[in-house]
Amino acid sequence: MLNVGNSEGVQLQSKLFRGFGDPARLNILQVLRNGPMTVSEIVAATCMSQSNTSNHLRCLRECGLVAAEQQGKFALYRLSDDRVGDLLALGESLLADVARGVYECTRYSSPQDISAGQKIK
Amino acid sequence: MLNVGNSEGVQLQSKLFRGFGDPARLNILQVLRNGPMTVSEIVAATCMSQSNTSNHLRCLRECGLVAAEQQGKFALYRLSDDRVGDLLALGESLLADVARGVYECTRYSSPQDISAGQKIK
DNA sequence: ATAATATATCAACGTATCATGATATATAAA
DNA sequence: TTTATATATCATGATACGTTGATATATTAT
């Protein structure tokens, strides 16, 4: 029953950033910077499965990071706000200077990097 | 600069954003916006345990989001780059417009809100 | 009508991740 | 020296998360 990040603002903001913190969702957001895309196009661009893409799109849509527009049997998704792209750009700018540290960070970090590395036993 | 859109760039950037996506780490980053603080001060400001704070500080430090300076038996932490604060500010700005959606998003979202939060009445 | 296409939904399982708690290290004071 | 204070480390248990795969829904074509 710990109260980590007890402030409502921190909780909400962490959920917002979590939208950017998952590789699959970030991948979707990045490809949408090129302009609106249908789900099929996003699937092709990200090489993710259809259900996985749709699952994450729902999350991104509910969180207001992307917006969807139904067009016949297609669903056209777009970044909902310029600041979403701004955040991605700012993240890129920052990453350009801290990339080495991020890459080497193994604690509380990306699972793929750990499993790809040597196992310690 | 990074070629975002490729999978490696997305992986790295997702790790970067994950630094902001955890409530505990975000809490630390937010309090550090007020200026450099020792670990004890961060512990007091965030109401987190000492070991938990230290664990997350290590991650943030290794990822280059914060910098530490040893001063006697104290360790003074600060945000490493202005863009870290910029990202937080931009997140707040965006959140001001999408907060309702973020709050209601239950899939791929913050665990504390579900388990510790009050049920819908 | 049926079939094909596009997207959404959701349960379930494997695993990454977090907080804890004990311990280690280091510096400063007594 | 011993004690207190400050911070770091790390194994571990609990659980939240993401992918998969099956299925549902909806629209368009035949």
pLDDT tens, chain A, 121 aa long: 333 334 778 988 998 999 999 999 999 999 999 999 999 999 999 999 999 999 999 999 988 899 999 999 999 999 999 999 999 999 999 998 875 555 666 666 543 443 333 332 2
Residue-wise pLDDT for A31-62, tens only, equals 999 999 999 999 999 999 999 999 999 999 98
Q: Are the beta carbons of A59 and B110 separated by less than 8 Å?
A: no
Contacts of B115 in chain A (CB under 8 A): none
Nearest residue, CB atoms, A5 vs list B24, B103, B104: B24
Q: Is the CB of B40 under 7 A from strand D?
A: yes
User: What residues of B are in contact with residue A91 (Cβ under 8 Å)?
Assistant: 13, 16-17, 87
Cα of B45 vs its chain's centroid, Å: 14
Touching A: B residues 24-43, CB under 8 Å? 24-27, 30
What is the pLDDT, as a whole number, of residue A111?
A: 39
At B25, list the tokens. 């780490």
* Mean per-residue pLDDT over chain B, rounded: 83
A83 to chain B, any CB pair closer than 8 A? The answer is yes
Instruction: Measure A7 CA to D1 C1' (Å).
Output: 46
* Pairing mode of beta strands B37-38, A74-79: unpaired
> Is the Cβ of B57 closer than 8 Å to some Cβ of chain A?
no
- Which chain D positions come under 7 Å from a protein C-beta? 5-11, 15-23, 26-28
Q: How far apart are CA A65 and CA A106, in angstroms?
A: 28
User: Does residue B76 carry a pLDDT above 60?
Assistant: yes
Strand, coil or helix: B77: strand
Report the phi/psi class of residue A117: left, alpha or beta, with left for phi > 0 and alpha for psi in -120 to 50.
Answer: beta
Q: And the tokens for A32? A: 């949408």
Q: A78-106 b/e with 16+ CB inside 10 Å = b?
A: ebbbebbebbbebbbebbeebbebbbebe
CB contact B109 to A (< 8 Å): yes
- B26-68: pLDDT as tens digits: 999 999 999 999 999 999 999 999 999 999 999 999 888 999 9
The verdict on A82 touching B (C-beta cutoff 8 Å) is no
- B77-121 pLDDT, tens per residue? 999 999 999 999 999 999 988 755 556 666 665 434 433 333 222
The H or E element that residue B110 is part of is: none
Q: What is the pTM of this model?
A: 0.84
Amino acid A102: pLDDT:
58
Strand C and chain A: which residues 19-48 have CB closer than 7 Å?
38-40, 43
Q: How far is CA B36 from CA B31, B53, B82, B90, B109, in A?
A: 9, 15, 13, 21, 30
Cα–Cα distances in Å, from B7 out to A26, A100, B49? 10, 16, 36
CA–CA separation, A57 vs B81, rounded Å?
Answer: 31
What is the rounded CA–CA span in Å between residue B6 and residue B48? 37
State the alpha helices, DSSP H only, in A47-110. Answer: 50-62, 82-104
Q: Is the CB of A17 under 7 A from strand C?
A: no
